[in-house]
């Protein structure tokens, strides 16, 4: 029996006030996460299929905030790979779930205990050496499994949380094969998805109902909206910075002007020939001509050195 009820709210009638200090403390940039170890040319990471997001214009912007928030809600220590917001956004677009179910998935990730990461990393089913395909030139029929936990895409945890939330709310449940192929794009095996679901349920003590209440769901939706605004502000700032650099570049390529197009370079000085005690002078201005035109007698010992 499903638990179908709606907590749909808008930002205007939300009871939660935005706390800037709490928001900055809670949301930490993904660059603070540890970097994954370098992979060799023959490693499974280089051989594993990469998650390729669809064209950005084809994805609905309503999934931008949920994707960013879900990526940040992954438990620390679960993976050394930084989750991709665009990949999670693509997953949400394929699932096309109501926002309340997405908010429930956020609450599920937020409620995982400290032992989840270790239990998931230690027991995660991997592709062992010697289990590769028998034919060298045949493509694998299913997901290519990594041989090390650090090469597993961490978005599988988000996928499992979305599956649990959907199963809890909706009576009509799909098979793991459907979730893995349609939502997960065949990046993980059914065994890996089922194992991750089981780890999440064990961490929660198989208690989902306390999370399906008005207060935590509204709080999760509020945090999702704040994450969406933050991402939009960052993208707007990047676009504005690019436009500013283009503007300064275009101005630097022209002639130097001041005011209403006045030229900084002074006009050429009128020139004319003039006689002086020092001979014929050319290309001199008015003041120079007057100075040199005055007849002056130079003493004979003007350049004479004393004995």
Of residues 93 and 292, more confidently modeled: 93
Q: Which two tokens stand for residue 4?
A: 């179908």
Q: What is the mean pLDDT of residues 42-46?
A: 42
pTM for this predicted structure: 0.61
Distances in whole angstroms, Cα of residue 168 to Cα of each of 49, 75, 172, 216, 269: 31, 21, 10, 16, 89
Do 149 and 198 share a domain, yes or no? Answer: yes
Do 232 and 264 share a domain, yes or no? Answer: no
Of 36-45, 98-107, 247-256, 280-289, which gets the smallest average pLDDT? 36-45
Q: Is the separation of the CB atoms in 187 and 75 below 8 Å?
A: no
Separation CA 203–CA 123 (nearest Å): 14
Residue 244 has pLDDT above 80, yes or no: no
Residue 70 has pLDDT above 90, yes or no: yes
Residue 46 has pLDDT above 50, yes or no: no
Residue 95 has pLDDT above 80, yes or no: yes
Domains identified in the chain, total number: 2
CATH number at residue 188: 1.10.472
Do 267 and 165 share a domain, yes or no? Answer: no
First-to-last C-alpha distance (Å) of the chain: 123
Do 203 and 275 share a domain, yes or no? Answer: no
Phi-psi category of residue 291: left, alpha or beta, with phi > 0 → left and psi -120 to 50 → alpha? alpha
Tell me the pLDDT of the chain averaged across its residues: 74
Residue 72, pLDDT score: 93
Do 35 and 108 share a domain, yes or no? Answer: yes
Residue 235, pLDDT score: 78
Q: How confident is the model at residue 239 (pLDDT cuts 50, 70, 90)?
A: confident
Q: Is 1 inside any structural domain?
A: no
Do 153 and 72 share a domain, yes or no? Answer: yes
Print the domain residue range for 37. Answer: 20-131+140-237
b/e sequence 156-169, b meaning 16+ C-beta within 10 Å = bbbbbbbbbbbbbb
């Amino acid at each position: 029996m499903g638990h179908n009820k709606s907590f749909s709210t808008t930002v205007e009638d939300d009871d939660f006030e935005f706390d800037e200090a709490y928001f900055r403390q809670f949301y930490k940039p993904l660059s603070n996460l540890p970097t994954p170890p370098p992979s060799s040319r023959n490693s499974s990471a280089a051989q594993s299929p990469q998650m390729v997001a669809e064209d950005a214009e084809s994805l609905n912007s309503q999934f931008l905030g949920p994707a960013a928030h879900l990526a940040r809600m992954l438990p620390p220590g679960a993976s050394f790979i930084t989750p991709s917001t665009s990949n999670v956004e693509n997953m949400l677009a394929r699932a096309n779930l109501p926002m309340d179910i997405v908010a429930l998935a956020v609450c599920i990730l937020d409620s995982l205990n400290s032992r989840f990461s270790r239990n998931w990393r230690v027991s995660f089913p991997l592709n062992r050496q010697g289990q590769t395909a028998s034919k060298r030139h045949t493509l694998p029929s299913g997901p290519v499994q990594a041989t090390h936990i650090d090469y597993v895409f961490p978005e599988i945890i988000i996928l499992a949380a979305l599956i649990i939330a959907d199963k809890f709310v909706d009576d009509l449940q799909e098979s793991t094969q459907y979730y893995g192929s349609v939502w997960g794009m065949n990046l993980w095996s059914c065994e890996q998805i089922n194992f991750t679901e089981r780890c999440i349920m064990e961490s929660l003590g198989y208690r989902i109902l306390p999370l399906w209440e008005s207060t935590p769901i509204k709080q999760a939706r509020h945090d999702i909206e704040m994450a969406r605004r933050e991402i939009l502000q960052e993208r707007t700032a990047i676009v504005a910075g690019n436009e500013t650099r283009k503007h300064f570049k275009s101005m630097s390529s022209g002639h130097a002007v001041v005011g209403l197009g006045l030229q900084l370079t002074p006009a050429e000085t009128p020139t004319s020939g003039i006689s002086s005690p020092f001979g014929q002078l050319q290309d001199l201005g008015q003041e120079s001509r007057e100075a040199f035109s005055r007849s002056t007698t130079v003493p004979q010992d003007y350049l004479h050195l004393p004995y």
